[in-house]
Structure 1
Amino acid sequence: MSGAADREAVFPTRQSLGLMKAKLKGAETGHSLLKRKSEALTKRFREITRRIDEAKRKMGRVMQIASLSLAEVTYAVGGNIGFQIQESARAARFRIRTKQENVSGVLLPTFESYLTEGNNDFAMTGLGKGGQQVQRCRDTYARAVEALVELASLQTAFVILDEVIKVVNRRVNAIEHVIIPRTENTIKYINSELDELDREEFYRLKKVAGKKLRDNAALDAEMKLKREEKAARELAEGQPEVQEDASGPSDLLAAEEDEDVIF
């Protein structure tokens, strides 16, 4: 019999056995589904990790080019144009919209940058000198912003997937190493108890059948004895009559003659 710590506390009945079998089937089905979900999320997680590495490399190159472009603008203009740019900016030209992507039941946010039409506050910047360098620097930093938005989207998905994969793996391990073994041990315990009850019932029925056979044999013997006693008693009561009949004349000619009847 299994230990109580390795099984559930249930009463060993046929109904409990059916419930435990249904629970085991559900646990195995859930384990299979969670396993496939974990594999799908892990595959996407590895893909996002690869894309993050590529995005970081791309961002490093773009930021390096952007820094050089800013240095060229500073040299061409002959000073820092940061104050002029801050005064010229009225509305954001870059906007970000979000989407949600469903990956095996997990919603991953996706960030996407886009440019607003008809919004160019820096058209007159660098008009006197350095206009070409300013335009090139603006385009370079636009690509840098796009790379940063892409990297932020990937890193957000990375963090979410990392947490979800840990939770799913904990559930898979709990089902595989705790729930399924406990349910199987409970089923074994119920089967062993039911088998023991069947053996006890068979032994009890066998004892009852044996007792009935002995009782029937004793009853038959008693009835047979009574019949023999009755037959002996009847035989003993009928024996004198037979002797009295045997002592009388057996020949009709030897009997006394009847008196003559005169008409």
Structure 2
Amino acid sequence: MAASQVNATRMELTRQKKKLVTAEKGHRLLKDKRDELMRQFMDLVRENMELRKKVEKGIQNANRNFVLAKAGMSEEALRTALMTPKQEVYLKSGKKNVMSVDIPVFDWTTRTSDKNDIYSYGYAFTSSDLDGAVYSLSEVFPDMLKLAEVEKSCQLMASEIEKTRRRVNALEHVIIPETREHIRYISNKLDENERSTQVRLMKVKDMVLQDAHHYQE
């Protein structure tokens, strides 16, 4: 809105001044929020990189053991060994609010606490490489869930940072300068009106005094 379109009244001046105070306060709060979001986002990015390296290494180990197991066992025996899982995993998803961002939280439990229940086959007709592959996958599974949680959190944080950045820029480069311009325009207009009023009053006073003087004569 152009300054010339603002009503040059004292009520409007008061409203614009209140708007400026609110905008400046909001600008400070949003800048603090953006900075804190950036700090936590960088922490998540570092955690994400470490988890990804760990998960990729675990999956590589599992794949290597599966290749060795497949080389030492027939395809039918391998398929039969892995056909019926023994252990079950129950996954619960929740949310945690961080700087007004709802990031996911994953929690998981297994049907039994026995670590050997990850092996759904007997040991007589399978190779130790298959045991190593299954064990590697079971070990990397918690890190895979944590990686999914952290990566999604990074995406949500990045989106919130971008929205906050746009709001900060809008306040800093549009709303606050525009409001200050409105205040300056209204103040100048009111001062100009006041000077015009004083000039008119002085002229009226001179006219009254002049008429009074002629009357006395």
- CA shift digits 1:202-228 (9 cap, x unpaired): 00111111111111211222xxxxxxx
Matched letter for residue 85 of structure 2? A
1:42 corresponds, among 38, 44, 51, to 38
Alignment-derived partner of residue 153 in structure 1? 149
Q: What residue number does 2:58 align with?
A: 62
% identical equivalent positions: 27
Partner of residue 15, structure 1? 11
Q: Measure, in 2, the Cα distance between the counterparts of 1:216 and 1:13.
A: 36
Equivalent position of 1:99 in the other structure? 94
Structure 1: 5+ residue stretches without partners: 222-263
**Which residue identity does 1:173 align to in structure 2?**
N
Aligned length: 215
Q: Does the C-alpha gap of structure 1 residues 8 and 196 become closer, same or farther in structure 2, counting only changes over 3 Å?
A: closer
TM-score (norm 2): 0.88
Shift of 1:89: 2.4
TM-score where L is the length of structure 1 = 0.74
The match for 2:200 is: 204
Gaps of 5+ in 2: none
1:89 aligns to 2:81 (yes or no): no
Matches within 5 A, 1:51-200: 51-75=47-71, 78-80=73-75, 81-89=77-85, 93-117=88-112, 123=119, 125-130=121-126, 132-200=128-196
**Structure 2 counterpart of 1:50, one-letter code:** R
Distance 2:125 2:45 in 1: 44
Bigger drift between 140-149 and 191-200 goes to 140-149
How far 1:100 sits from its partner (Å)? 1.2
Q: 1: CA distance between counterparts of 2:83 and 2:56? A: 29
Q: Which has the larger radius of gyration?
A: 1
Q: How far apart, in 1, do the equivalents of 2:142 and 2:205 lie?
A: 91
- Note the aligned Cα RMSD (angstroms): 2.3
